[in-house]
A and B are shown apart, each in its own frame.
Chain A
Amino acid sequence: MRVGRLKAMAVKEMLQVWRDPRSLMIALLMPIMQMVLLGYGVNLDAKHVPVCTFDREGSQLSEALLKRFQASAYFAIVDVVDTYRAVTADLDRGDCRIAIVVPPDFSERLSDSGSSSVQAIIDGTDDNTANLALGYAQAVVSGFSSDVQIRFSASQGQWMPRPPPLSIDARVWFNEDLESRNFIIPGVVAMVMALVGSQLTSLTISRDWERGTMELLVSTPVTPMEVMLGKLLPYFVIGFLDAALCLAFAVFWFEVPFRGTILTLFVTTALFLVVVLCIGYLISVMIRSQLGASQIALLVTMLPTALLSGYTFPIDQMPAPIRAITYLVHARYYVTILKSVFLKGLGVFDLAGPVLAMVIYAAVVAVFASRAFRKRLD
């Protein structure tokens, strides 16, 4: 390997990117667009869930309960109805997600038997929002219930109201405000890097084939190793800039807490870049048209990264065969690392498992990529 030839190759590739508006657009515009789009668009929190209420009793007690729903930031009462039909219509049209129905004998049953219930009819179509909303509704009703108990005890002349037997003292670690943005955005960085990295290099060799410059390349004394390194180096630099841009976006714009060290972040990002750039290069060598190569690159990165990396869908909830497949998804390791570095502040040594997996991954793809290119025209 000669440094001079390597340098010439790298400079040529850099110029080519610089003068080709389309690859420049992929390199610079795509990361920003993806960060903004995914950063704002991808959100799993449920706030202001639309509620309709159907108070069949109309007593002071039932009104007090419904007022609590009104006061909660998680719910927004959009409709007050007086027939079951209207409840059904609201849910059918999707105007409300949850309907709170107070039965006509609500207060009566409470004073007779000491226990009464309200109905929460929920639109289960979006199961996640439904689950979250049910949790919030449960909390509202529990709060109301203990209030009622205290007032009841007081009215019975017990000056020391009976406290509830059990209380949950919950502490949330790492993502204290339970904001979905805080765990999704580090994943978005991985997603963007996987997409952009392999898109960029998928065009490298296929471009030479398509434009006929492959014959020129083959006739020079450059070795396959020099071709690979020379072609990948400029993209490594671009990829690194992209990564820095995305990470800065995550920390300063979206204000995701960053608790780890920059060094850990840079080392692991460099490793991941090697993986994605080599995959793109490998595809580029195998598929000789630019269109085909970029399509294949999109196909093999988009779906696995979006679904199987743990970036939004938790891996431990998947069935065992799918979980086994996720070990083959490169982004799985990087997503784990990014989330841990951002939220938990873990270092390279705490993350030995995923880091080692990425080293092995990078080594394997690099070996394949370096073997794939042969100086032949057939």
Chain B
Amino acid sequence: MFTRIIQVLLKELIELRRDKWAHFRLLIPPIIQILVFGYAATFEVFGVSTVMLDLDHTQESRDLISRFTYSGRFEVVRIAHDLREIDNAIDRSDATVAIVVHPGFANLLRKGQTAPVQVIVDGTNSNTALIALGYVNQIAATFSQDYASDLLQRTRAGPTARVVQVTLEQRPWYNPDLNSRWFFVPGVIATLLLVITVNLSSFAIVREREVGTLEQIMVTPIRPIEFILGKTVPFFLIGVGEVVLVTAVGTLWFGVPFVGNPLVLLLGTSLFLLSTLALGLLISTLCSTQQQAFATNFFVLNPFFILSGFAFPIASMPVALQWFTYANPLRYYLVIIRATFLKGVGLAVLWPDLLALSALGVGILAVSVLRFRKSLD
């Protein structure tokens, strides 16, 4: 049995080595993808284009505006002179945020009344708008605090005039600078692995079927399970190789930390590959041509990709779609890979995800082996 598996394995490796395109396909797209994702996929908000209108022209208003300028979160693209200019800038998308200080701002402050600051936000990209509004509120809160305690010092008021305040101390763990790259790089590794291995395994078997060599192989003494193992073991090795390659780019080039245990990741990767390779096999039993396999892969992989938590939080999806994510191997692998990269947790925490992955893998494999046997009859 063992020698027969080795024979198929060797045949597959030789085929892969002679396929000049395969080298290219397996090396270049993953690297391009990790680079594009690393640089382009960001939800961070820096240097929001901002237009300022100061109608008060006082020390206080200038102080407030300079706080926006020096925060690094806002980039003043224009100083407006009237409200019309503000409307135009937002309409034409020249600026995302407009800050208007109305006349009488400093007067109100000095009188101890609340001085309003008008902020107009282009909400088109709600995410950027929400985060930018968060920064606006933070700046306003510190301005308020500073002004109040300043006033207190100047007037030396008694305890009755004290300012009482509660503040929030922010402590982000695992990704202290809230860097999008740290979130996306491990995710890209997972999605790449899904796409590459499902494609490889489904195409490899469908190709034999299409060309007609599958029948030739089946008249040899080889058993279906030996054939499947011989076919998929090379892809398993390729999958692990891809993880190492992309992890190297992610950690060395982008500086994403890897604080966990590589062995835990290897275990998770192996279980994930079990699911993806079995899925490829399942698809191959449903298709008779490579073109069909291509279309089927797309229809299957796309939902897996979107409903995985790769970029969009599962908790914000409708409940029906959330249920679907439980049948998605990528969901569990994303948890495992992000946890090993950023959190550094081990089996004690990750066992439920590993267990779910094994169950899915065994389930898909069982169905696909049964179907594969049938498709030979």
Contacts and interface: CB of A to CB of B under 8 A. Distances in A.
Given A41-B321, A131-B134, A117 B127 contact: no
A322 to B, nearest CB: 5
Interface string B146-159: 01100100000001
Interface residues of B, number: 102
Interface string B70-88: 0000000000000000000
B44 A294 contact: no
B291 A93 contact: no
Contacts of B349: 89, 92-93
B161 A162 contact: yes
Nearest to A50: B315
Given A162-B112, A165-B109, A110 B164 contact: yes
B221 interface: no
B134 A138 contact: yes
A172 B123 contact: yes
Nearest to B92: A350
Contacts of A182: 126
A313 B338 CA distance: 21
Interface residues of A, number: 103
A314 B126 contact: no
Contacts of B321: 40-41
Contact of B343 (A92, A116, A312): A92
Contacts of B91: 344, 350
Contact of A144 (B121, B166, B295, B317): B166
Interface in A113-166: 114-132, 134-135, 137-139, 141-142, 144-145, 148-149, 152, 156-158, 162-166
A378 interface: no
B173 A91 contact: yes
Interface in B320-355: 321, 335, 338-339, 342-343, 345, 349
A294 B296 CA distance: 13
Nearest to B172: A124
Interface stretch (A8-16, A30-38, A363-371): A30-38
B40 A318 contact: yes
A131 B163 contact: no
Which of A44, A124, A303 gathers most chain B CB within 10 Å?
A: A124
Contacts of B345: 92-93
A167 interface: yes
Closest 8 CB pairs of A and B: A135-B134, A124-B175, A175-B123, A124-B172, A128-B43, A127-B178, A172-B123, A178-B126
